Chain A
C-alpha cells in the first residue's frame, strides 16, 4: 500500500478540517438560543468525539495497510460496506454544501458587493477536481505549507478579541437550560463530525514516532481552541448573538476601532478561508473515495467529476442560500451524523476489540507479534 501522507500531515489535515467551518455561522446558530450552556454541553460532546477519534487512530495503527473500506468488508461484508459508504457519500455532500455556501455567503456579505454564485463555484470546483485527481499526497503537502497562514489568522482574531471578552458571562454553568442546549446542538449536528475524514486516511499514513501522542495532543488543543472561540464570541456578544453572522470576522470588528487601521479584520479572515478551501478539498476527496468504492470506478477523474456534478446540482437546488441550507440541515437530515457515528464507530470499536482479543489469544498461544 502506497503511503500518501506522513503522520504530521495527517495531524495537520485533521486539525484544519475539524475547525474550518466551526467559526463562521455555527457560533451564532448555537449561542443565540443555547447561550453559555451549549458551550459546556459541546465540551462534553467534544470529549466523547475525542475518545472516539483516538479509537479510530488506534485501529488505523493496528491495520496500517488496510483502508477503512477493506476493514469494513472484512468485518461486515461488501454489501453493508457499500451501504455505509453510500451514507458517507451523502454525508460528505452535505458537508460540502455547508462549507461552500457558508464561505460564499461570508465573502458576499463581508468582502464583496456582488459575487455571482457561478463565478464563485467555478474555481472551487476546478480546484477540488484537480486536487482530488492528484491525490491525498498533494493535499497533505499543501496543508503542511498553508497551516501557518490558517492558524495565524485565527490566532490574530483570538488574541485581539480575548481582552474584550468578559468571561463572567460563562456563568452560571448550566442555568437550567441543558435540554435546550442539547436540542440546539443536535439540530446543528451536521456541523460536527468532521473528524470522520480520518477514516479515509486509513492505510495511507506513514506513521512516525510518537504519532498517537502527538495526534492526541494536537486534536485536544484544536477542540479546546474551538470551545475557547465559542466562549470568546459569547462573552463579547452575550445579548446580541442574533446579530452576529460570522464569528471569526465579527469578533475582530470591535477591535479595529481606529480609523487608520481600517477593516484589516477582513483581510485577516481571508487567511482563514484557506482552511475552508482545504476542508472543501478533503471532503471532495472523501466523497470521491466513497463513490469509487461503491461503484468500483477505476479512474479518479470519473468518480471525481460525478461527485462534483452531484454537489453542484445540490448547491443549485439549495439556491446558494444560507437560510435554505440551515433549514435543510436542521431537518431530519441532521440524524445522518449520529447514524454514521453509530454504525462506523461501532464497527471500528468491535474490530478493535476483536483484534485485541485475538492478539491476546495469540500471545497466549506463543505467536510473536512485531
Chain B
C-alpha cells in the first residue's frame, strides 16, 4: 500500500466514524439539565428510618444577570442509599452530587457508628471535598433556612468552612474524619451547628465550662470566657449573617426569612463533637477545645480574656489580649520509666486590646499603659497552662486522642512506644504528662 492509499484509508475511516457517531451524539442533552444537582445533604433519623434531605439547585431561565434558586427535598429510607434512591425516583431525574460540599448529620442519626451514615458518601467518587457538621436539631431545617436566604446562599458553607479554618482552627471534613476514624487513635472531631431557639445545648456547654473554671493560677482567678468581637473565638455563638462575624456579609445572612423559621438562626459557636470509633463520646465547647488548640500546629489568631486582674493599677479588671505572634515547639519524649512526656514551649507576643473595670483613674490609667506586663503575663501563662492541662485531662478522661499523640510518639519511637501501648492495654494516654513552658511578651506600639 502506498502512503496515499493509507492516508485515504485513514480519512475514510474517520469520515465513516463521524457519519455513524454524529447522529447519536448530536442529540445528547446537557448533563446539568438532565440531573437534579444537589448542593448539600442533611441526614436526620426518624424512628428506625433515615430522612435524607437534599438542597438542590433549581434552574430558572435567565439570559442576563445571576439568579440562583434552591429548594430542599427529602425522602426516607431504611438506609441512606435507599433514601437517596427514593429521592431520585421522586425527582424523576438522576442526581448529580459533584457540587455537593456540605453534609449535616443529626446527632441521633450518628448512632453507634458514623460510618454507617457516611458509607454512601465515601464510596461515591463524584463527591469531592465534603464538609461535615453535626447538629442536635433538624438537619433538614438547617438546609431550608440556608436555601431560603435571599442574599447569601452559600452562608452555610461559609459558616462552617471559613469559620473553622480561620477562627476555630478545626478541619471538619470527610477526609479528616476518616483519617481519625481509621487511625490507631480512632478519634475524630466534627463541627457542631445549632439553631438559635434550642436551649438544651447551653447547659451541656456550661457543664464543660465549669470544669475548666476550677483550675486557677496564682490566686487570681481567670476565665477564658469573654466577649465576642469581630472574628474572634468566644462563648457567644457566632451566627451566620451576624455582622460581627467576618465570615458573612449581611446581617440578614442565612437567618430564616420564612415565618416559621424567621426567628431561627444557624449558629456555629465553635463547639465540636468528638467521636471515638465513630461514636459520639463528648461535646466540647470552644473554650475546652482551645486547650487542645495550643498543642496543634494550625491555629487561628484569637483574643484572650483575662478576668479579675488585680494590681496597683487594676481592680477586678477584665483584660482582653490580642495574640500577635506565636512560636511553638512541641517535643515528645519517653522517659526511662516509660512515661510519655509532651514538652510544650511557646513564645507569645501579645498586645492589650482593651481593659475594662468599674473605676477608671486617669493617672493610674496612663501609668498602667507602660507598666502592667508582669501581672498580665503571669495570668496569661497560668491560663495557658491550665487550659493545656485541662485538655490533656479531658483526653484521658474520655480516651480521646485529638492531638494525634499516638502518631507523634510512634513516629519518633516506633516499637518502643508500641510496647508502652501494649503494656497499657491500649490506653496509652493514661500516663501522658505535659509540661508547659510559656514565655510572653507585650508588644507595645
Contacts and interface: CB of A to CB of B under 8 A. Distances in A.
- Identify which of A175, A238, A257, A262 gathers the most chain B CB atoms within 10 Å of its CB: A257
Given A240-B175, A301-B1, A259 B101 contact: yes
A168 B154 contact: no
A345 B217 CA distance: 72
- Identify which of A168, A243, A259, A262 gathers the most chain B CB atoms within 10 Å of its CB: A259
Contact of A254 (B10, B98, B129): B129
B173 interface: yes
B414 A175 contact: yes
Q: A-side binding surface: helix, strand, loop or mixed?
A: loop
Contacts of A253: 128-129, 175
A109 B125 contact: yes
Given A113-B31, A168-B407, A243 B178 contact: yes
B122 interface: yes
Nearest to A265: B128
Contacts of B414: 171-172, 175-176
Interface in A201-246: 237-240, 243, 245
A122 interface: yes
Interface string B397-409: 0000000000110
B229 to A, nearest CB: 25
Interface residues of A, number: 30
A253 B1 CA distance: 50
A169 interface: yes
A265 B179 CA distance: 21
A125 to B, nearest CB: 11
Q: B-side binding surface: helix, strand, loop or mixed?
A: helix
Given A172-B414, A240-B182, A254-B175, A259 B99 contact: yes
Interface in B115-150: 122, 125, 128-129, 131
Contacts of A113: 31
Nearest to B411: A171
B10 to A, nearest CB: 7
A80 interface: no
Contacts, number: 64
Contact of A263 (B13, B128, B161, B413): B128
Contacts of A130: 10
A254 B179 contact: no
Interface residues of B, number: 31
Contacts of A263: 98, 128
A168 B411 contact: yes
Given A126-B13, A239-B183, A240-B179, A257 B411 contact: no
Interface string A282-314: 000000000000000001010000000000000
A198 interface: no
A172 B411 contact: yes
Contact of A256 (B13, B128, B131): B128
A240 B178 contact: yes
A257 B129 contact: yes
B130 to A, nearest CB: 9
B334 interface: no
Interface in A100-156: 109-110, 113, 122, 126, 130, 133
Interface in B93-129: 98-99, 101, 122, 125, 128-129
Given A109-B125, A257-B161, A168 B179 contact: no
B31 A256 contact: no
B56 to A, nearest CB: 15
Contact of B173 (A172, A254, A259, A265): A254
Nearest to A262: B99
Contacts of A110: 125
Contacts of A109: 125
Interface in A173-218: 175-176
A133 B407 CA distance: 55
B1 A259 contact: no
B35 to A, nearest CB: 9
A239 B182 CA distance: 6
B142 to A, nearest CB: 17
B19 interface: no
B6 interface: yes
Contacts of B122: 243
B177 to A, nearest CB: 10
Contacts of B17: 122
Interface string A247-280: 0000001101111001101000000000000000
Nearest to B14: A126
Contacts of A172: 410-414
Interface string B1-28: 1000010001001000100000000000
A301 B6 contact: yes
Nearest to B102: A259
B297 to A, nearest CB: 9
Contacts of A259: 99, 101, 154, 157
Contacts of A240: 175, 178-179, 182
18 contacts: A110-B125, A122-B17, A169-B407, A171-B412, A172-B410, A172-B411, A172-B413, A176-B415, A238-B183, A239-B183, A240-B175, A243-B122, A253-B175, A256-B128, A258-B161, A299-B1, A301-B1, A301-B6
Interface of A: 109-110, 113, 122, 126, 130, 133, 168-169, 171-172, 175-176, 237-240, 243, 245, 253-254, 256-259, 262-263, 265, 299, 301
Interface of B: 1, 6, 10, 13, 17, 31, 98-99, 101, 122, 125, 128-129, 131, 154, 157, 161, 173, 175, 178-179, 182-183, 407-408, 410-415
What are the nearest 5 A-B pairs in CB distance? Answer: A172-B414, A239-B182, A171-B411, A257-B129, A239-B183
Given A172-B410, A253-B129, A259-B99, 15 more contacts: A110-B125, A113-B31, A126-B13, A168-B411, A169-B411, A172-B411, A172-B412, A172-B414, A237-B179, A238-B179, A239-B182, A240-B178, A257-B101, A259-B157, A263-B98
